[in-house]
């Protein structure tokens, strides 16, 4: 009999949808993928060259549990150049993606019954990680009319003796919202440890600027990585920046559960940070073009977009004119039109009529998907 934890954890619905889409494709059906949050670009050539160099140099062994010192130094240099914050390499732990990083952080911070405030809509895995290690997610429901921006005053009223941390995600999955500097400053002033998911940093549009929480407080754990910004999802590489007092606990968890991140990916990531700037700029220009196209097309199809995305690569819109249940909408779109999308209920009960569309796909495929939805909806 499997454990209660394993029975109670919810599935990752976007993966359920992707796997059903793959089944349909195996049956010969063509599916337009607007569900998955994965860049469609190839990893930059300089990164691949760095990996080949590491392979040819036989760098195929365990690294230090915190990660290669050269990579940790490069991460510190990046945060200094990008945000003006000074970090010591001993405050950086390199992980096998940001999902393991989340598990390490929540495991290090939470005892049974500790509470974590999570703005809603939220990345679906946050509550599962929190509950898995014995914590309790407390949801701060944000307003579509206010652009899904976290409200520091309301969060302040939610803080209790059991509150251990506040999770923020900017640019946001699923909304694409970028938290403003003044809001980050107010959140930092609450005195609550902040877990800041910064995985979509670098992917911003229309003059939006990302700020790291480290600009406003040292009482924070930062999650970041290479999968979104550098189109390196399969390389499975992320990192944590943590206060000094949290590092030994994180390191011991890493040593026992994960040992160290992939040595080849770590070496390649150094080249991403130091040489892939032009590749990133080209990707951002392309994403921005797709973003504008998708926002316009969805509005023509009758979807309500409360906040135009300023970052990441998603558009989050109200689909209640199709059906009030987003799971049903996603089923109809996939089974009847061959268009895979992510249901809003994945991101919280307050947005169960919403749908997330990903523009991490070509303009040609996005247009193909829209044409199918036009035929389905009769628009």
Q: What percent of the chain lies above the pLDDT cut of 70? A: 100
Burial environment of residue 308 by CB neighbours within 10 A (0 to 12, 13 to 18, 19 or more)? middle
Strand partners of residue 141: 120
Strands 32-33 and 339-340 come out as parallel
Domains in the chain, ordered, with CATH?
4-42+278-377 (3.90.1150.10), 45-275 (3.40.640.10)
Burial environment of residue 313 by CB neighbours within 10 A (0 to 12, 13 to 18, 19 or more)? buried
Q: Express each pLDDT in 18-49 by its tens digit.
A: 999 999 999 999 999 999 999 999 999 999 99
Q: Are 317 and 354 in contact (CB under 8 A)?
A: yes
Mapped onto helix, strand or coil, the DSSP state of residue 355 is strand
Q: Output the average pLDDT for the chain.
A: 96
The rounded Cα 156 to chain-centroid distance in angstroms is 25
Return the pLDDT at 192. 98
Q: Express each pLDDT in 163-176 by its tens digit.
A: 999 999 999 999 99
CB atoms within 10 A of CB 293: 15
Q: Are 59 and 263 in contact (CB under 8 A)?
A: yes
Return the pLDDT at 361. 96
Q: Express each pLDDT in 68-106 by its tens digit.
A: 999 999 999 999 999 999 999 999 999 999 999 999 999
Cα separation, 69 vs 77, in Å, equals 12
Q: Is the pLDDT of residue 180 over 60?
A: yes
Strand partners of residue 238: 95, 225
Check: pTM over 0.85? Answer yes or no.
yes
Q: Express each pLDDT in 288-325 by its tens digit.
A: 999 999 999 999 999 999 999 999 999 999 999 999 99
């Amino acid at each position: 009999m499997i454990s209660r934890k394993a029975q109670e954890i919810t599935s990752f619905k976007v993966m359920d949808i992707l796997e059903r889409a793959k089944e349909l494709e195996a049956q010969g059906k063509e599916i337009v993928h607007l569900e998955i949050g994965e860049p469609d670009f190839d990893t930059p050539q300089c990164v691949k060259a760095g990996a080949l160099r590491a392979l040819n140099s036989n760098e195929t062994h365990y690294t230090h549990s915190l990660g290669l010192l050269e990579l940790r130094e490069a991460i510190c240099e990046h945060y200094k150049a990008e945000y003006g914050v000074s970090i010591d390499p001993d405050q950086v732990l390199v992980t096998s993606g940001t999902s393991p990083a989340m598990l390490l952080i929540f495991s290090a911070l939470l005892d049974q019954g500790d509470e974590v405030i999570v703005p809603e809509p939220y990345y679906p895995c946050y509550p599962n990680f929190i509950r898995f290690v014995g914590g309790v997610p407390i949801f701060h429901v944000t307003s579509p009319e206010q652009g899904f921006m976290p409200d520091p005053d309301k969060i302040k009223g939610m803080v209790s003796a059991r509150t251990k941390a506040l999770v923020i995600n900017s640019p946001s999955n699923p909304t694409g919202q970028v938290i403003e500097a003044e809001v980050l400053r107010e959140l930092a002033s609450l005195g609550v440890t902040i877990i800041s998911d910064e995985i979509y940093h670098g992917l911003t549009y229309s003059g939006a600027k990302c700020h790291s929480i480290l600009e406003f407080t040292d009482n924070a754990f930062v999650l970041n990585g290479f999968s979104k910004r550098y189109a390196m999802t399969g390389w499975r590489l992320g990192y944590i920046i943590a206060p000094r007092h949290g590092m030994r606990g994180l390191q011991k968890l890493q040593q026992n559960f994960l040992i160290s991140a992939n040595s080849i990916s770590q070496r390649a990531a150094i080249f991403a940070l130091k040489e892939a700037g032009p590749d990133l700029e080209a990707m951002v220009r392309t994403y921005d073009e797709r973003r504008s196209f998708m926002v316009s097309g969805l509005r023509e199809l009758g979807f309500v977009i409360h906040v135009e995305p300023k970052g990441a690569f998603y558009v989050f819109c109200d689909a209640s004119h199709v059906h009030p249940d987003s799971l049903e909408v996603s089923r109809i779109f996939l089974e009847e039109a061959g268009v895979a999308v992510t249901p809003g209920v994945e991101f919280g009960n307050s947005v169960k009529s919403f749908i997330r569309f990903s523009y991490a796909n070509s303009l040609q495929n996005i247009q193909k998907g829209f044409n199918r939805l036009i035929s389905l909806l009769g628009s």
